Amino acid sequence: MNSRLRKTDESINPIRSDAMQENNVKSSIPSFADLSTVPLLIVMNAGSGHNDTNSTQEKIEHILIEAGRHYRLFLVQDAKQITEIARRAVEEAKACSGVVVAAGGDGTINAVANAVLGSGCVFGVLPQGTFNYFGRTHGISEDICESTRALLTAQAHPVQVGLVNHHLFLVNASLGLYPQLLEDREAYKTQYGRSRLVAAWSALITLLRQHRVWSITLERQGKTSYMRTPTLFVGNNRLQMEQIGIPLADALEEGQLAAIALRAIGTLAMLGLALRGALGNLGDAENVISFGFQRMTVKPWSIYRKHRIKVATDGEINWMHAPLEFCISPEPLYLLKPSPVKLAEVHSDADQDP
């Protein structure tokens, strides 16, 4: 770990967080101190983004020093250390009433958010990944200088958090084919570099290969249903739902998660669904099942029932024991978000993405 420390101001008023009512992330925001003066504890993933790490670090520090903002930067060289480093950052933030900031892609943001949730600390992000769904959804620029400056005046807002077996996800969680897509994508990125074009190409190659069909039982709202599917995808991100054309974006604003499953189909039909998703009309496909929910239990059948299951959360692979319990966290994250004007600008730019 590499860190740079500027002495924190001991006169800063402590941050106070009030208890939230269970499953109600839209209740009133706890009273915080003036967030424009509190220290920033930044956990930065050296492996995220397209830019040189040293250049990105210098830009962040230059802006904070110029603004007279107290900060500490934790540079994560080994991704395996990010969980422990995030915990250290949270402990220091609690001691100095600071804000914990994640600088990296959605996977980095997920790891740091896991440490922040329930700590009473405010959370900030500097998006530096390939897709940056979380940052873009909340109006946070992918330009490191713009997002760093925005941290200086941003205000805290409650953000819905999804959980699968108590593991946090902010964008999505999935099992089956989608985790395999992510693993293959990382392999291609290692060889050819990080870009959306490389991600799309690797997805195409994965879809052309043979894939397992899962037999699962779903339990939600007192009802049980059986399904055979190559993948089950649970979304918690409005922007991603809108881009692929699933009409459940409003459900996310109403305290629900969005489930998407594909029927057991052949390779050509699977490629057709991928094309529909790229064109933003996946929701019209007859082989796609989608619904909103607040809590759901997923039980694999037969020999898979007692085995661990590969589950992807915000682009990171985890092994979890069945059954899988999906739900909304009773406590939200308090995220530093720019003004509504900035948020509208980011959504406008997203609408023009290919």
Q: pLDDT tens track of the chain, all 354 residues?
A: 444 444 333 323 333 333 333 334 433 445 555 788 899 999 999 875 555 788 999 999 999 999 999 999 999 998 889 999 999 999 999 999 999 999 999 889 999 999 999 999 999 999 998 789 999 999 999 999 999 999 999 999 999 999 999 999 999 999 987 666 665 555 545 555 555 565 554 555 555 455 677 889 999 988 999 988 888 999 999 999 998 888 888 899 889 999 999 887 666 655 555 655 565 667 777 888 899 999 999 998 755 455 788 899 998 889 999 899 999 999 999 999 996 654 445 445 444 443
249: its two tokens: 């974006």
In 3D space, the residue among 133, 106, 104 whose CA is nearest the CA of residue 347 turns out to be 133
pTM score, whole prediction = 0.78
pLDDT recorded at residue 36: 84
pLDDT recorded at residue 347: 45
What residues contact residue 98 under an 8 Å CB cut-off, 6+ apart?
A: 8, 38, 39, 40, 41, 92, 121
CA distances from 88 to 136, 186, 292 (A): 27, 27, 36
pLDDT recorded at residue 203: 54
| pLDDT, tens digit (0-9, with 9 covering 90-100), for 268-285 | 655 555 655 565 667 777
| pLDDT, tens digit (0-9, with 9 covering 90-100), for 98-146 | 999 999 998 899 999 999 999 999 999 999 987 899 999 999 999 999 9
pLDDT recorded at residue 320: 93
Residue 291 burial (CB count, 10 A) = 16
Q: 323 preceded by cis ω (within 30°)?
A: yes
pLDDT recorded at residue 350: 45
pLDDT recorded at residue 191: 59
pLDDT recorded at residue 177: 76
H/E run at residue 345:
helix 340-351
What residues contact residue 245 under an 8 Å CB cut-off, 6+ apart?
A: 276, 277, 279, 280, 281, 282, 283, 284
For the chain, the straight-line distance linking the first and the last C-alpha, in angstroms and rounded, comes to 38
Domain architecture of the chain: domains with CATH: 2-160+331-351 (3.40.50.10330), 167-328 (2.60.200.40)
